[in-house]
Amino acid sequence: MSGAELLALLPVLILALGATGLLMVGAWWPRRQPLLLSGVVLALLAALVAGAVPPPVPEISGMFGAGPYARFFTILWSLLAALVLMLSDRYGDARRFPAGEYPTLVLFAAAGMALLSAATSLVGLLIGLESFTLVLYILIAIDKTSARGTEAGLKYLIMGIVATGFLGFGIALIYAATGSFHFPEIHAALVRQDGSAALSLLGWAMLLTAIGFKVSLVPFHLWTPDVYQGAPAPVTALLSTGSKGAVFAALVGLLFGIGDNLASLIPVLWALAAASLVVGTFCALRQDNIKRMLAYSSITHMGYTLTALLAWGETGREAVIFYLVVYTAANIGAFGVLTAFAIQGEEPQNYRDLRGLGYHHPRRSSALAFFLLSLAGIPPTAGFIAKFNVFHAALQAGYTGLALLGILASLVSLYYYLRPVIVMFLARERDLCLSPGSSGEHAVVVVCLFLALLLGIYPTPLYALIGLILP
Amino acid sequence: MTTFPVLTTLLLLPLLGTALCLLFRRQADLCREIALAVTLVILGFSIWCFTFPAAADGWILSESYRWIPRLGARLTLEMDGLSLLLVALTAFLQVIAVLISWHQKKHPAFFYALLLLMECGILGVFLATDLLLFYLFWEMMLIPMFFLIGIWGHGRRVYAAVKFFLFTLAGSLLMLLAIIGLYLLHGRQTGDYSFALEALKATDCGGLEPWLYAGFMLGFLIKVPVIPFHTWLPDAHTVAPAAGSLDLAGLLLKTGVFGILRFAFPLFPAAAAASLPLLATLALVGLFYGAWCAYVQNDVKRLIAYSSVSHLGVTMLGLASANVPAMEGAILLMLCHGVTTGALFALVSMLRRRTGTRDLDRLGGLWKEAPVFSCFFLFFALASLGLPGLANFSGEFLVFVGAFRTVPLWGALAVAGVVFAAAYTLRMVQGSLWGERPTRGRPWPDLTALEVIALAPLVLFTLWLGLYPETFLAPLHQPVRLLLEQAAPLVAVNGGMP
């Protein structure tokens, strides 16, 4: 690896090396707050470097891109890590998260996500994906006092290993069929279709299965609700946004330029999207626990993202990226509020715990309501424009059926997104005073609120940015 | 025309009011005053709009700014005679809504903030001529109403609020698909991707036209509401607080009719022309069914809610008749219905505050105990029934004339509907005002000065609309003529321009 390539990798290096440093310091000087703060600073620094230092080479070792697209996601996931760390201050204190390890793991996760989003080869894809899922296994189970957390970690581990198996096998088959790991060469080989189409198709199917597990598309979604519920709220925030968004970002890179060469995949993707929309929606409807509801609804959101991806073309890819950003903001915001509500021994998760919170904690409850409305896609929230893009792309590409299904899912989704709002504001009040929340948590909620509102009424800056980075 | 951005100001003022109410949420009195001041200023602005002359293309005021260039969406606000009247009605009724909620004790700041936010949404719906912007406002007015019903309603408020939200959203989401479909069609044909109403009118929809039209109409008909999409209305009305019912009946229902006039008919004239008989049938069914349901209700508020379904049936018949008098009558009737039914809802809320009931079986003898209240109630009930000289008569009369001109049978049936209106209105008045009170107790107090002040302007407008409707018809002549000219097939169905 040349010096230029190392320089191009600098933001990820800051995250990874910084995290290692924090781990060492944590071993000798286990003070939670300063270490968390250093983690936030490192993540922000990585984001700043990714934005300010132009990469000297377009690609790193033929594995990761260093172009604007890769940089955009490096910034996004670094900021996500910073937000998650800011959320973890009081929450981590109450649950005695290990001082050094926790921020280290979050930063590692961000580095892994950044690498995954930037992957330009199947090896890069594997490295990126594994480097952050490995971290997530630990993060999910980091609250050692919680039996649910341990169980969730174990579940995610087992599912993750299966997915890795599929991924490795799929990569091997695609390599066997095309003779390369590098995306552009794979595409070129596909165009030639030199007698190994069946092998390659099997490889793609395995790859898609692994990805289905990672982003919890139906029917690979069964782990999602348990893991979401069991993981600590800030970790769930990371899990539900970054880990899925990074995979989709990689998918956009992977499938870009594939054109009609994999037309046989389209029905499969269509079915995955449709099933995710339907099953996610109807399962979310039945939940009494807000984290489980968000878990199932995330399956629906992945269905929307896949719909946009299917629509392909510039509009489709633009819709995917827009959706990921907006979904990340709203989801982090929602989990941010849940984190802020959580106190020692009680994390209000069931709807009955939220009763009347709208009057005891009007600002945070209103924020949660706003995030839920954004996830539901009601104007003037950013979620509306994001869904609009998806439907726009789907109709443009001729997927009217999928668009109609999306509309129906959207309508039903309203019911489960409104339920917490109803419980908070419309149900009879209950005397429940939770902690006032820390400044870090409030800052995260404000940032997400700002994004969810601004992108709803004035999305132009994000469109412009996406226009610049689109591969 | 003025260079001052009147229309933008009209939308920003309520938002400012919302922000102020939330900011000073601990000072209930201040919030009330802010709400009143803001609504009065908005009313002032909307009256000022009457002083501007209309251009040849019908627009009195128009403003357009960049919004989302990537999608071709612009922040286009335009006002013609039709929107002018509805904007004025909105501004006027919102002042009344604030006045009749003066006693609001439960979370007053949040209440007024929502009221103002809804005003912004409704004004936006009447002013936006960019379809994406219109949709934004269209959905935006739902959220405050959802909370108004859900938090300040009584009885099965959560059920009613959710039903209201889901019903109206179901329609509008299909409308969204139709909007995107039209946008893509237009873009493919011209290369210019735009949501501007004027541009989209030129789109050749081909075989898709009936589908797109149906998408739009479903959204609007649910809001109107036309049978069989009406079931959300009685529930929502019955439980909503006074200001909520006033806004629902006076304004929200009008957005549906407005949408048909402004968007559905001009965008898809051929499909619209083909649908007129169906619309007329639905309208007539609604007229009779609503009246019948109103007649059998015991709850006064529910009775008035069903009477709205009936009145809106007459309005829809006016649209379906598609000629100048019928359309002008329909729009006039919207205004009249807004004023009279709004007043009746306000009165019923006052009644409930005094008597603790809205049940006709437990009311009676009000004339003796609360004469001022009874006078107002009788006055608005008679106006709602369509007594000549009072508001509804002028609108209904024009609709009947127009309907007779198109299909005499429609007109004849609609006139017969008035008998039904008389039946339920008289039953309501008889049950509440006359006779003896079934239960003894302390006398019911009469209206307070503030309540009289809130109702007096409504009386004035009821008389004005009934005695000299030309004031309100004058701004309509040009827009209605333009609408019928542009939507030529609509007129062709009925044998040319009258």
Q: What is the pLDDT of residues A43-79, one digit of tens each?
A: 999 999 999 988 888 888 889 988 899 999 999 999 9
Q: Average the pLDDT over A287-299 and give the result.
A: 90
Would the CB atoms of B67 and A378 count as touching at under 8 Å? no
CA B439 to chain centre: 37
What's the rounded Cα separation, in Å, for the pair A466 and A253?
14
Which tens digits make up the pLDDT trace of A361-380?
888 889 999 999 999 988 88
What's the rounded Cα separation, in Å, for the pair A246 and B320?
54
CA of A421 vs chain B CAs: smallest distance (Å) = 10
What's the rounded Cα separation, in Å, for the pair B109 and B87?
24
What's the rounded Cα separation, in Å, for the pair A177 and A188?
12
Using alpha carbons, select from B315, B365, B311, B374 the residue that is nearest to residue B340: B311
What's the whole-number average pLDDT of chain A?
A: 89
Q: Average the pLDDT over B44-67 and give the result.
A: 87
> What b/e sequence results for B292-320 when a residue is b if at least 16 CB atoms lie within 10 Å of its CB, and e otherwise?
ebbbebebbbbbbbbbbbbbbbbbbbbbb
Top mean pLDDT of A339-348, B35-44, B92-101 is at: B35-44
Tell me the CB-side half-sphere exposure of residue A303, using CA atoms within 13 A.
31
Structural domains of chain A, count:
2
Across the strands, what pairs with A346? A343
Would the CB atoms of A415 and B166 count as touching at under 8 Å? yes
Residue A414 contacts B where some CB pair is shorter than 8 Å: yes
Would the CB atoms of A414 and B143 count as touching at under 8 Å? no
Would the CB atoms of B180 and A391 count as touching at under 8 Å? yes
Which residue, chain included where needed, has tokens 């060492």?
A24
Residue range(s) defining the domain that contains residue A434: 263-470
Same domain, residue pair A331 and A241:
no
Residues in A touching B18 (Cβ below 8 Å) = none
Same domain, residue pair A366 and A236:
no
Would the CB atoms of A422 and B150 count as touching at under 8 Å? yes
What's the rounded Cα separation, in Å, for the pair B31 and A357?
23
> How many helices and strands (H and E) does chain A possess?
20, 2
Query: Can you read off the two tokens belonging to residue B43?
Result: 């009313």
Which pLDDT belongs to residue B488? 62
Which pLDDT belongs to residue B202? 83
Q: Kindly identify which residue of chain B lies nearest to residue A457, measuring between CA atoms.
A: B67
Same domain, residue pair A248 and A329:
no
Residue A359 contacts B where some CB pair is shorter than 8 Å: yes
Q: Kindly identify which residue of chain B lies nearest to residue A410, measuring between CA atoms.
A: B173
Give the β-pairing of B73-79 and A64-65.
Answer: unpaired
Q: Kindly identify which residue of chain B lies nearest to residue A421, measuring between CA atoms.
A: B147
What's the rounded Cα separation, in Å, for the pair B145 and A260?
48
Q: Average the pLDDT over A395-414 and give the result.
A: 89
The 3-state DSSP composition of chain A as helix, strand, coil percent (nearest 5) reads 80, 0, 20
Phi, psi of B155 (to 5 degrees): 75, -135
Element (H, E) at B65: strand B61-68
Query: Can you read off the two tokens belonging to residue B334?
Result: 């919207």
Same domain, residue pair A243 and A362:
no
Residues belonging to chain A: 471
Outline where DSSP puts E strands in B214-271. none
Q: Is residue A193 part of a domain?
A: no
* B185 pLDDT higher than 70: yes
* Candidates A379, A414, A422; nearest CB to B140: A379
Query: Can you read off the two tokens belonging to residue A270?
Result: 């269509």
CA of B312 vs chain A CAs: smallest distance (Å) = 26
In the chain, the amino acid numbered B441 is G
pLDDT confidence band for A260 (50 / 70 / 90): low
Same domain, residue pair A431 and A306:
yes
- Exposed, middle or buried by CB within 10 Å (0-12, 13-18, 19+), for A288? exposed
Q: Kindly identify which residue of chain B lies nearest to residue A414, measuring between CA atoms.
A: B166
Residues in A touching B147 (Cβ below 8 Å) = 425-426
CA of B343 vs chain A CAs: smallest distance (Å) = 27
Which residue, chain included where needed, has tokens 């670094």?
A78
Say what the pTM is.
0.91
Sorted by sequence, the CB contacts under 8 Å of residue A137 that are 6+ apart come out as A153, A156, A157, A160
Sorted by sequence, the CB contacts under 8 Å of residue B279 that are 6+ apart come out as B226, B316, B319, B320
Using alpha carbons, select from B319, B18, B308, B314 the residue that is nearest to residue B147: B18
What's the rounded Cα separation, in Å, for the pair A449 and B256?
31
Q: Is residue A212 part of a domain?
A: no
Residues in B touching A385 (Cβ below 8 Å) = 68
What's the rounded Cα separation, in Å, for the pair A330 and A121?
31
Which pLDDT belongs to residue A328? 93
What's the rounded Cα separation, in Å, for the pair A347 and A366?
18
CA of B170 vs chain A CAs: smallest distance (Å) = 6
User: From residue A337, how far is each of A371, A433, A446 by CA, in Å?
Assistant: 10, 14, 10
3-state secondary structure of B79: strand
Which tens digits make up the pLDDT trace of A189-244?
887 776 567 888 888 889 989 999 988 888 888 889 999 988 988 999 999 999 89
Query: Can you read off the two tokens belonging to residue A24?
Result: 């060492």
Q: Is residue A291 part of a domain?
A: yes
Q: Render A232-264 in DSSP notation, one character per residue.
A: -HHHHHHHHHHHHHHHHHHHHHHHTT-GGGGGG
- Exposed, middle or buried by CB within 10 Å (0-12, 13-18, 19+), for A469? middle
Which tens digits make up the pLDDT trace of B399-453?
998 888 888 888 888 888 888 888 888 888 888 888 777 776 777 788 888 888 8
What's the rounded Cα separation, in Å, for the pair B175 and B217?
8
Residue A145 contacts B where some CB pair is shorter than 8 Å: no
Residue B135 contacts A where some CB pair is shorter than 8 Å: yes
Which tens digits make up the pLDDT trace of B120-172?
999 999 999 999 999 999 988 888 999 889 888 888 888 888 888 888 888 88
Would the CB atoms of B181 and A391 count as touching at under 8 Å? no
Same domain, residue pair A133 and A46:
yes
CA of A456 vs chain B CAs: smallest distance (Å) = 10
Q: Is residue A48 part of a domain?
A: yes
Same domain, residue pair A343 and A372:
yes
Same domain, residue pair A463 and A387:
yes
Under 8 Å between Cβ of A117 and A254: no
Q: Is residue A228 part of a domain?
A: yes
Backbone conformation region of residue B85, classed left if phi is above 0, alpha if psi is from -120 to 50, else beta: alpha
Same domain, residue pair A229 and A145:
yes
Same domain, residue pair A232 and A352:
no
Dihedral angle at the C-alpha atoms of B275, B281, B285, B286, nearest 10 degrees?
A: 40
Which pLDDT belongs to residue B121? 93
Sorted by sequence, the CB contacts under 8 Å of residue B265 that are 6+ apart come out as B272, B319, B483, B487, B490
Sign of the CA dihedral A148, A151, A153, A156? Answer: negative
Residue A464 contacts B where some CB pair is shorter than 8 Å: yes
Residues in B touching A460 (Cβ below 8 Å) = 67-70
In the chain, the amino acid numbered A218 is V
CA of B238 vs chain A CAs: smallest distance (Å) = 17
Q: Which A residues in the span 426-455 are in contact with B, Cβ-Cβ below 8 Å?
A: 426-427
Residue A355 contacts B where some CB pair is shorter than 8 Å: no
What's the rounded Cα separation, in Å, for the pair A405 and A428?
35
Using alpha carbons, select from A336, A290, A326 the residue that is nearest to residue A84: A336
3-state secondary structure of B195: coil
Q: Average the pLDDT over A297-306 and give the result.
A: 93
Under 8 Å between Cβ of A77 and A45: no
Same domain, residue pair A278 and A230:
no
Residues in A touching B136 (Cβ below 8 Å) = 379-380, 384, 457
Complex ipTM value:
0.87
Sorted by sequence, the CB contacts under 8 Å of residue B365 that are 6+ apart come out as B433, B434, B435, B436, B437
Same domain, residue pair A230 and A332:
no
Q: Average the pLDDT over B256-269 and give the result.
A: 90
Would the CB atoms of B158 and A422 count as touching at under 8 Å? yes
Which pLDDT belongs to residue A195? 53
Residues in B touching A379 (Cβ below 8 Å) = 135-136, 139-140
